[in-house]
Amino acid sequence: QQQVKQSPQSLIVQKGGISIINCAYENTAFDYFPWYQQFPGKGPALLIAIRPDVSEKKEGRFTISFNKSAKQFSLHIMDSQPGDSATYFCAASMSFGNEKLTFGTGTRLTIIP
Amino acid sequence: DAGVTQSPTHLIKTRGQQVTLRCSPKSGHDTVSWYQQALGQGPQFIFQYYEEEERQRGNFPDRFSGHQFPNYSSELNVNALLLGDSALYLCASSLAGPGGNTIYFGEGSWLTVV
């Protein structure tokens, strides 16, 4: 049973545009929601993470929006650049650090000039 | 500061064989988790080790086993390899305790079973 659903599966955005990736979770015990960026042949790298006590977190061009009542969270990439082309995974866990991460299925983002 | 290091980076095994993958956690980290990532999929949690003991286990058969050493490094062993075990195996490390500890991933070990 997939506990974190991610959409879209793939996304093409023009350079300078806004990329938006959405995730929904089922387990209300989840309380830590990170986003990972993965380039081909590389391991996932933490991009940004949020806890459910805030509705939004921004780091540079990357913003997470969180809707606890809807059990949804999303990643917004502002001013998208070709270097942002990668696969993005949302994830969730029940506490910081040592609990297992449950990942979404990934979104392949392509930024075109 | 070395991050999470894994070895080997690539390997090819024959169905039925056994494989051992190795991981050194990020400096200062004491908890190691292993994930399996099939092509085009998100990583799936295999198990986690802390204080040399398996703390949590995902939905993987007993063919998958592990070990953590006193220096916090870890091994993943897979016995009786199946074609379906072909995947990227990721090691992740973190520091036990509260406070928003970040989970860091290594580059992974690509396993191909033929």
Q: Which residues contact B70 (CB under 8 A, 6 or more apart)?
A: B52
How confident is chain A (113 residues) per 10-residue block, as mean pLDDT?
88 98 94 93 92 93 96 98 97 76 96 96
Q: Please indicate whether, in this complex, the C-beta atoms of B42 and A49 are within 8 angstroms of each other.
A: no
Q: Please indicate whether, in this complex, the C-beta atoms of A101 and B103 are within 8 angstroms of each other.
A: yes
- How far is it, in rounded angstroms, from Cα A33 to Cα A21? 14
For residues B85-94, give the mean pLDDT. Answer: 95
In this prediction, residue A98 carries a pLDDT of: 59
**Does A43 contact B at CB distance below 8 Å?**
yes
In this prediction, residue A29 carries a pLDDT of: 87
- What is the residue-averaged pLDDT of chain B? 93
Nearest CA in chain B to A50: B100
Nearest to B32 by CA among B11, B52, B18: B52
- How far is it, in rounded angstroms, from Cα A108 to Cα A85? 8
Is residue A48 within 8 Å of A64, Cβ to Cβ? yes
- How far is it, in rounded angstroms, from Cα B48 to Cα B35? 9
The C-alpha of A11 sits at a distance from chain B's nearest C-alpha, in angstroms, of 15
In this prediction, residue B27 carries a pLDDT of: 92
In this prediction, residue B94 carries a pLDDT of: 86
Nearest CA in chain A to B106: A43
- How far is it, in rounded angstroms, from Cα B104 to Cα B23? 12
Nearest CA in chain B to A10: B40
Nearest to A63 by CA among A97, A108, A20: A20
Q: Locate tokens 């459910």: which residue?
A: A52
Kindly tell me if the per-residue pLDDT of B99 is higher than 60: no
**Does A31 contact B at CB distance below 8 Å?**
no
Q: What is the pLDDT of residues B31-77, one digit of tens each?
A: 999 999 999 899 999 999 999 999 989 999 999 999 999 999 999 99
